[in-house]
Amino acid sequence: MSKPIASLSKTKQILEEFDRGANKTFGQNFIIDPSVVDKISDLAQVDQNTAVMEIGPGLGGLTEYLCYKAKKVISIEIDEHMIEILKKTVGHFENLEVIHQDFLRFDSTTWITQQKAAGLAVAVCANLPYYITTPILFQLFESPVLPDSITVMMQKEVALRFSAKPSTKDYNALSVIVQYLFNVQLVLNVPKQVFLPMPKVDSAVIRFTPKNKQEIKNQDQFFKLIKACFKQRRKTLSNNLTEYLKDRNHAVEALNQSFIDPARRAETCDLSDFVRLYEVLYENEGLRKN
């Protein structure tokens, strides 16, 4: 391999050659440590039986390592100027397809379905723009066909929310919902010093793998319940649930039947607590909220 794209000297050379800098509109920060992109591609567990979807390839620093390791890579880039750079930096890879499109408008479900039909494992691997991390992830999470894994770098503060445990300051409704759908692991901390330009905050890499069994039939209703329980964080469950059900007696009864102290706060409850509460509420017609 020649000098990696994700090195300080190579990154500066590319930006000077194309008279470019990072586009703040698209949240661009380029990794300038090859060991970081190598580690991320390893954590994604990419091999010659894997089709990889990369979102926001930038200069192609991570793309380069993914192309060496994967069967095929599709990289979706919104910035038309980066498309020209990618032709120069990674255009020689025969297993790479670069798409100029906003990922939020990309039909990821069809692409994932096609790769699985071809017998390939599907991995999403990306250094996500901070400003649009959650919308990108939820487009993937809500797809009827999920990838086999999602390994992405994001702002560390957001990563901590996704992976947070009960009774911690980062634990919220998002933590519960995502951990219901996926096994979530924070697999790598990435200091801000490995980016150009250097952001104000550190980053982290999270790996999501779908859970096989989903025990809730009406996920939308379950997620609404979780959000209602966390609506006002410092309020007790009985207060938040009363507002949701419009009936304090029903709220307290549901919590008691779920073996949850009504005086507890949502942040102290784990996933199994919310599952029990949902089952009590939606198996008992007298407690159901219309």
Residues 239 and 165 in one domain: no
Residues 145 and 237 in one domain: no
The predicted-structure confidence for 251-260, as pLDDT tens digits, reads as follows 999 999 999 9
Grade residue 25 by pLDDT with cuts at 50, 70 and 90. very low
Spell 32-62 as b/e; 16+ CB within 10 A means b: bbbebbbbbbebbbbeeebbbbbbbbbbbbb
The predicted-structure confidence for 132-154, as pLDDT tens digits, reads as follows 999 999 999 989 899 999 999 99
Residues 78 and 198 in one domain: yes
Residues 124 and 236 in one domain: no
Task: Evaluate whether residue 289 is within a structural domain.
Answer: no
Residues 90 and 156 in one domain: yes
Residues 102 and 190 in one domain: yes
The predicted-structure confidence for 45-59, as pLDDT tens digits, reads as follows 999 999 999 999 999
Question: Rounded to the nearest 5°, which phi and psi values hold at 105?
Answer: -105, 0
> Computed from CA positions of residues 219, 220, 223, 228, in that sequence, does the dihedral angle turn out positive or negative?
negative
Strand partners, 183: 209
Q: Residue 77: helix, strand or coil by DSSP?
A: strand
Task: Evaluate whether residue 140 is within a structural domain.
Answer: yes
Residues 201 and 255 in one domain: no
CA distance 144 to 224: 19
Q: Pick the last residue of a domain from 210, 238, 269.
A: 210
Query: What is the number of residues in the chain?
Result: 290
Give the H/E segment covering residue 43: helix 34-43
Residues 125 and 55 in one domain: yes
Strand partners, 195: 31
CA distance 5 to 2: 9
Q: CA–CA distance from 173 to each of 29, 154, 238, 257 (Å)?
A: 29, 19, 16, 22
Task: Evaluate whether residue 1 is within a structural domain.
Answer: no
Grade residue 216 by pLDDT with cuts at 50, 70 and 90. confident
Q: Tokens in use for 34?
A: 């090859």
Residues 158 and 266 in one domain: no
Secondary-structure percent of the chain, ordered helix, strand, coil, rounded to 5: 45, 20, 35
The parent domain of residue 27 ranges over: 8-210
Task: Evaluate whether residue 235 is within a structural domain.
Answer: yes
Q: Pick the last residue of a domain from 182, 210, 238.
A: 210
The pLDDT score that the predictor gives to residue 26 is 45
Q: Tokens in use for 248?
A: 């304090």
Q: CA–CA distance from 257 to each of 79, 260, 278 (Å)?
A: 53, 8, 11
Task: Evaluate whether residue 59 is within a structural domain.
Answer: yes
How many domains is the chain built from? 2
Residues 38 and 172 in one domain: yes
**CATH code of the domain containing 50:** 3.40.50.150
Rounded to 10°, the helix 237-245/248-257 angle is: 120
Residues 193 and 227 in one domain: no
Q: Pick the last residue of a domain from 210, 233, 260.
A: 210
HSE-up of residue 262 (Cα within 13 Å, Cβ side): 15
The predicted-structure confidence for 75-117, as pLDDT tens digits, reads as follows 999 999 999 999 999 999 999 999 999 999 999 999 999 999 9
Share the mean pLDDT of the chain: 93
The pLDDT score that the predictor gives to residue 21 is 58
Residues 194 and 266 in one domain: no
